[in-house]
Amino acid sequence: MRLATRLTVLLVVLSGAAAALVGWYSVYTSTRASYAALDQSIHSVIAAGAGHPLTALSSALAVTQENNYDLTLDLVSAKGAVTQLITGNTPLTRSPSLVDVHSSLHAIHTSTDLPGFRYRSMSVGGGDWLLIAASTSQIARQDRLLEEHTVEAGALAALLLGVLARFIVQRDLRTVDRLITYAGQVSRGELEQVVPPAGGSRDFKDLQASLANMVASLHRTIEAEQRLAKVTQQFIGDASHELRTPLTVVRGYVELLGRADISDEQRQRALDRVTTEVTRMDRLVNDLLFLAEVNEVPDVGVTAVPLSAMVADRVRDFATDYPAHPVTADIDPDLVVAGRVDYFERLLTNALSNIARHTGAHDPVRVTLYGDDARVRLVVEDGGPGLPGGEYGAAPTRFQRFDNARSRSTGGSGLGLSIMADVTRALGGTLSTSRSDLGGLALTFCFKIDIALPA
């Protein structure tokens, strides 16, 4: 059974039950009021003759006639003889007995002897009794009529309420049908479908918005998985290629070392080459492991990093290690950022090591660090040849390599810029590449200022 039908049936049943309850209460209240009025007329006749045996009968007759009560008054003798003094619109079906008289002396009574009547009796002197009876047939007819009207009104109200409810929730139900259809399409992989517009109540609009957000998140997840699969495939290809080359070289020289007819000079050259290739493989593996760590747990060990002092120390070390490079530095003091000290250390090490590895011995180097109230910018420039092909702009993607020959000629893994890009993203910053006015490459790192040292 569909939701629309269920809601309609539920509303009809509830409204019918409510109408039945209201109708029952109305009939009950009306019946009690009618019986109370009937009993009041009997009590009025009894009160008129009570306490005055000599005039009780005449007083009772007078009150009945004056008020035009629909009552039957029967005089019952001590021997049980019945004389009907006043007959109501509905006469008694049988004459009252002495048992009926005595059972109703103190309160209004009903019995199977006088069905359809409420009655009470009182003494009128001389051993005689007066029995006052009131028919309940009119009340019974009114009750049946009221019940019939109540049932009819309840059924009509339930029907109208069901139709009205169906009309009111129709737009909501159409929205639900559209969302169900859309969810089915998404479950079948039809992600290009547009989320249907929401109409009706606020709840269904919220449902539509939540579904739209869920599908958008699903799109992002799928795209991220696709990118990850692509990057992983590229990573596996790069890693296998980079490891295969030195392993081939190592295997060749190991075979050469196993020969007995080589000279000491050839043996030493083979050992040196094996050492070089093993060292390069070790660096490549370490770089790949570091990239995995950066992308898996970037937020572990975050502290306040005194970036100004760290940059100044690394620039001094570089100038000491490579005195032929003309080095200039412009560093704003007391700049502190939030991050991992080892990540910033690796970032600076890679940036300066790339300069040492890929530029001439006398090419100039310039390091600039400055900041404002919101951001810190670090610019590392050199006067070398720059990026091959002039591929400047945004930061390199993960595992992107600019010169496949560099790692072989210098002993590096060729992933220096990729490592710097991933580390920068893990630190919440950005990296861009451009042509430096020194003639080579300019790396620009930008980080948010989260912590400031006191002045």
Four-CA torsion 12, 18, 24, 29, nearest 10 degrees: -150
For the cut 60, the answer to whether the pLDDT of residue 39 exceeds it is yes
Residue 242 to residue 236: CA distance in whole angstroms: 10
Q: Residue 445's pLDDT is what?
A: 93
Half-sphere exposure of 260 toward its Cβ, with a 13 Å CA cutoff? 0
Q: Which of 136-140, 281-285, 412-416 bottoms out in mean pLDDT, i.e. has the lowest? A: 412-416
The candidate with the shortest Cα–Cα distance to 235, out of 431, 397, 425, is: 397
Condensed to tens digits (0 to 9), the pLDDT of residues 250-307 reads: 888 888 888 888 888 888 888 888 888 888 778 777 777 776 666 655 555 678 899 9
Coil/strand/helix, residue 370: strand
**Is-above-0.85 flag for pTM?**
no
Q: Which residues contact 398 (CB under 8 A, 6 or more apart)?
A: 231, 235, 291, 295, 418, 421, 422
Distance of CA 423 to the CA centre of its chain: 34
Angle at alpha carbon of residue 73, lines to 64 and 104, rounded to 5°: 110
Bridge partners, 304 (sequence order): 338
Residue 287 structure tokens: 């770089």
Distance between first and last Cα of the chain:
73
Residue 378 to residue 371: CA distance in whole angstroms: 9
Residue 432 structure tokens: 């861009």
The candidate with the shortest Cα–Cα distance to 356, out of 434, 411, 432, is: 411
Condensed to tens digits (0 to 9), the pLDDT of residues 84-96 reads: 999 988 888 888 9
Task: Look at 203 and 106; give whichever has higher pLDDT.
Answer: 106
Q: Residue 298's pLDDT is what?
A: 53
Whole-Å CA distances, 179 to 40, 174, 184, 202, 208: 66, 9, 8, 15, 7
For range 421-443, the mean pLDDT: 88
Percent of the chain with pLDDT over 90: 23
Residue 94 structure tokens: 């049988």
Residue 357 structure tokens: 């590895």
* Residue 256: burial class (beta carbons within 10 Å; 0-12, 13-18, 19+): middle
